[in-house]
C-alpha cells in the first residue's frame, strides 16, 4: 500500500483556560489514503475543526505526531509549516472570503500568480462550472457560485489535499448539493484527497470513509462500500 497522505499518532490538542483543561483532540490515531474522500461528523466541540486545522498547518498539536506523507509536520519550524501549507493544502470554509472588488477570475489569479505549478484561472473556474461567470464580481454571484469560486481558488495551485470546513453550511440544499458535486468532480479529475467537515449527515454518503467524532476522539469509522453521487443526495 502507498504511504498515506496523513498519518496521525496519538495526536492530542489540549487547551487550558483558567482551571479548566479541554481535550480538543485526545490521542487520535488515523491514516488517510491518497485520493480518499473523508467526511468528519460529530457534535459541536468534538474536535473536527481542531484536527482539520492541524492537518492544514494552521495549528499545532500539544503532543503526538502528524505526518503528511513522509514529512513530520510536528517537527517543522513555522516557516516550513507555511511552505507546506502553501504548496500542498487548499482550504474551503463556510464563508467564501472572496475579495469583493475583484472578479471571480481575479480572485483565482491572486493564488495562481504565486503558486509553483498552477492551473490557469480559467481552467480552475471551468472545473467548477463557472467558465461563463468568470468576469463577474462576487456580489453578482449566488452563494453557491461564490463557494465554487472559493473552491476554484483553493484547487488552482493543484494541492494534494483539500480541507473543507462546513462548505455547504451557508447554502440551501440545491446549491449545497451542487457544491458537493464540484468537490467530488475535483477529487475525481485531479485526485485531490478531500476532507469535509459537516453537520449534515446526508453528506456522509458521498465519502469513502466517515469519521465520527465524540469528545476529541474518533468514536467510529464507517467505510462506505460505494460512494453516492452528489445528485443522489437529498436534505
Ligand X SMILES: Nc1ncnc2c1ncn2[C@@H]1O[C@H](COP(=O)(O)OP(=O)(O)OP(=O)(O)O)[C@@H](O)[C@H]1O
Which residues are at the interface with ligand X (CB under 6 A)? 15, 17, 22, 24, 42, 44-50, 213
Give the residue with the Cβ less far from ligand X, 32 or 218: 218
Give the residue with the Cβ less far from ligand X, 84 or 93: 93
Alpha carbons 190 and 160: distance in angstroms, whole number: 9
Q: How far is the CB of 171 from ligand X (least distance, A)?
A: 17
Q: How far is the CB of 46 from ligand X (least distance, A)?
A: 4
Q: How far is the CB of 82 from ligand X (least distance, A)?
A: 19
Q: How far is the CB of 84 from ligand X (least distance, A)?
A: 20
Give the residue with the Cβ less far from ligand X, 1 or 16: 16
In sequence order, the β-bridge partners of residue 72 are: 67
Q: Which residue has the cell 483558567?
A: 18
Q: How far is the CB of 35 from ligand X (least distance, A)?
A: 24
Q: How far is the CB of 99 from ligand X (least distance, A)?
A: 25
HEC assignment per residue over the chain: CCCCCEEEEEEEEEEEECCEEEEEEEEEEEEECCCCEEEEECCCCCCHHHHHHHHCCCCCCCEEEEEECCEEHHHCCHHHHHHHHHHHEEEEECCCCCCCCCCHHHHHHHHHCCCCCCCCHHHHHHHCCCHHHCCCCHHHCCHHHHHHHHHHHHHCCCCCEEEEECCCCCCCHHHHHHHHHHHHHHHHHHCCEEEEECCCHHHHHHCCEEEEEECCEEEEEEECCCCCCHHHCCC
Give the residue with the Cβ less far from ligand X, 50 or 147: 50
Give the residue with the Cβ less far from ligand X, 42 or 144: 42
Spatial contact of 155 and 190, defined as CB atoms under 8 Å apart: yes
Q: How far is the CB of 215 from ligand X (least distance, A)?
A: 9
Tell me which residue of 55, 71, 57, 63 sits closest to 3, measured CA to CA: 71
Give the residue with the Cβ less far from ligand X, 136 or 217: 217
Give the residue with the Cβ less far from ligand X, 47 or 118: 47
Amino acid at each position: 500500500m502507498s504511504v498515506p497522505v496523513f498519518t496521525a499518532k496519538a495526536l492530542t490538542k489540549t487547551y487550558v483556560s483558567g482551571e479548566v483543561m479541554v481535550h480538543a483532540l485526545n490521542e487520535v490515531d488515523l491514516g488517510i489514503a491518497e485520493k480518499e474522500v473523508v467526511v468528519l461528523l460529530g457534535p459541536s466541540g468534538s474536535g473536527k475543526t481542531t484536527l482539520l486545522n492541524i492537518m492544514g498547518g494552521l495549528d499545532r498539536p500539544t503532543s503526538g505526531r502528524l505526518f503528511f506523507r513522509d514529512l513530520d509536520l510536528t517537527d517543522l519550524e513555522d516557516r516550513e509549516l507555511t511552505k507546506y501549507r502553501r504548496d500542498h493544502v487548499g482550504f474551503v470554509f463556510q464563508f467564501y472570503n472572496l475579495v469583493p472588488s475583484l472578479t471571480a477570475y481575479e480572485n483565482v489569479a491572486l493564488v495562481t500568480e504565486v503558486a509553483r505549478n498552477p492551473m490557469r484561472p480559467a481552467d480552475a473556474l471551468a472545473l467548477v462550472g463557472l467558465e461563463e461567470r468568470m468576469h463577474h464580481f462576487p456580489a453578482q454571484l449566488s452563494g453557491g457560485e461564490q463557494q465554487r469560486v472559493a473552491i476554484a481558488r483553493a484547487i488552482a495551485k493543484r494541492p494534494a489535499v483539500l480541507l473543507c470546513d462546513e462548505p455547504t453550511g451557508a447554502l440551501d440544499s440545491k446549491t449545497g448539493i451542487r457544491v458537493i458535486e464540484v468537490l467530488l468532480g475535483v477529487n475525481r479529475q485531479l485526485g485531490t484527497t478531500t476532507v469535509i467537515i459537516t453537520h449534515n449527515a446526508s453528506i456522509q454518503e458521498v465519502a469513502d470513509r466517515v469519521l465520527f467524532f465524540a469528545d476529541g476522539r474518533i468514536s467510529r469509522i464507517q467505510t462506505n462500500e460505494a460512494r453516492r453521487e452528489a445528485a443522489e443526495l437529498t436534505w
